[in-house]
Amino acid sequence: MQTAARLPSAPFPAAPRGSRFLRLGHPFRLYRGGCLDEAEIVYETWGELNAARDNAVLLFTGLSPSAHAASSSRDPSPGWWEYMIGPGRPIDTRRFHVICINSLGSCFGSSGPASPHPRDGEPYRLRFPRLALEDVARAGIELIDALGIERLAAVVGPSMGGMSGLAFALQAPGRIRALALLCSTAAASPHAIAMHALQREMVLNDPAWARGDYPLDAGPVDGMRLARKLGLSCYRSPGEWVERFGRRRTASASDSDDAFGAEFEVEAYLEHNAAKFAAGFDANCFLYLSRAMDDFDPAEHAGGDHGAAFSRLQLERALVVGVSSDTLFPVAEQRDLAEALEPACEADVRFVELGSIQGHDAFLIDEARFAPVMRDFFAALA
């Protein structure tokens, strides 16, 4: 197992400097076919593993974050979930050993379409096998096996990470005490699939995509920009747009000669965020992970029956959190998920609906609402 961070030779994979590395010494066979001969898994950790090795919390991310969920001595820069992880924070690293895994298929160090193929050193690109969230989850199983952890105190997953957490629980029954799913869903709805399909089409129709064979430093930027803008319209709520931007115009709007340029502040926000995303995330990785989200359905593990699938989970407790303004995974889906979990897995299941205005991305932003719920959940893990 390698534990020293490396500097990438190309824009991707770009693992954060606090990363640790696990290279599997055996073939990794994927859920929907295909095999990786030298799969690599990137992760970061916070807190100490206790002598009993039973205080570990495994965190799966949404589609686009890296494993850098919080600052540490190895990487003091703020992480994407800084308010949630650390001493005295809801996931208290004085009690728990937190492990955040970079999703297989991502472009932040774990094996994915942007990673070098072991046969020729060139990026996998579309040679990468079709990805499933079951593969993302099984990479987590490989990781805790390598770390000598038999049973986790909890698995936590927001958004796509919640689906990956469910996939983990389905494939490793009995190896989790508790499961926390935030702004997630059991399976993508037709609305979510439609939004993801439109995003993928924007990337695929960019000539610079070149059927996946683009230089890693010059990919389909326009397609990725458009895909991100559509994504943001699902990740944040209409009410938040009104509160943050209203119909205010940018300071330069009156000086512009471009009749169709970004005049409103909300347009400028979308453009800034989209350009940043397009410059920092690989297009093929985006396509693979997006499709994996749409494909995932726990019912596949039990002949089409969600209840039968969930009955295998063997959990002590579960937390399902939804946000009233989430339009990508509406709160009714989290309520249905909690109701399906409760009788099927015979666990203490708590459903919480939060009135946040930030929509699907609220778990990243709304500390005031999410932190107390998560603090209570982890406090109950005696």
Catalytic residues: 159, 326, 360
Q: How far is the C-alpha of 113 from the C-alpha of 292, rounded, in Å?
A: 13
Q: Which tokens sit at 31?
A: 């859920």
Q: Minimal CA–CA distance to 316: which of 363, 268, 350, 367?
A: 350
Termini Cα distance of the chain: 31
Q: Token digits for 311?
A: 């009955």
> Using CA atoms, how far apart are residues 175 and 314, in angstroms rounded to an integer?
8
**Does 129 sit behind a cis peptide bond, omega within 30 degrees of 0 on the bond before it?**
no
Query: Per the omega criterion (within 30 degrees of 0), is the bond before 113 cis?
Result: no
- The rounded distance, in Å, linking the Cα atoms of 309 and 48 is 33
The SS3 assignment for 322 reads strand
What's the order of all strands across the beta sheet hosting 176-182? 20-23, 40-46, 97-101, 56-60, 152-158, 176-182, 317-323, 348-354
- The answer to whether 67 and 16 are in contact (CB under 8 A) is yes
Enter the tokens of residue 158: 């927001």
Angle among Cα 278, 218, 22 to the nearest 5 degrees reads 75
Q: Is residue 256 within 8 Å of 246, Cβ to Cβ?
A: no
- Residues for the chain: how many in total? 382
Place of tokens 């689906």: 163
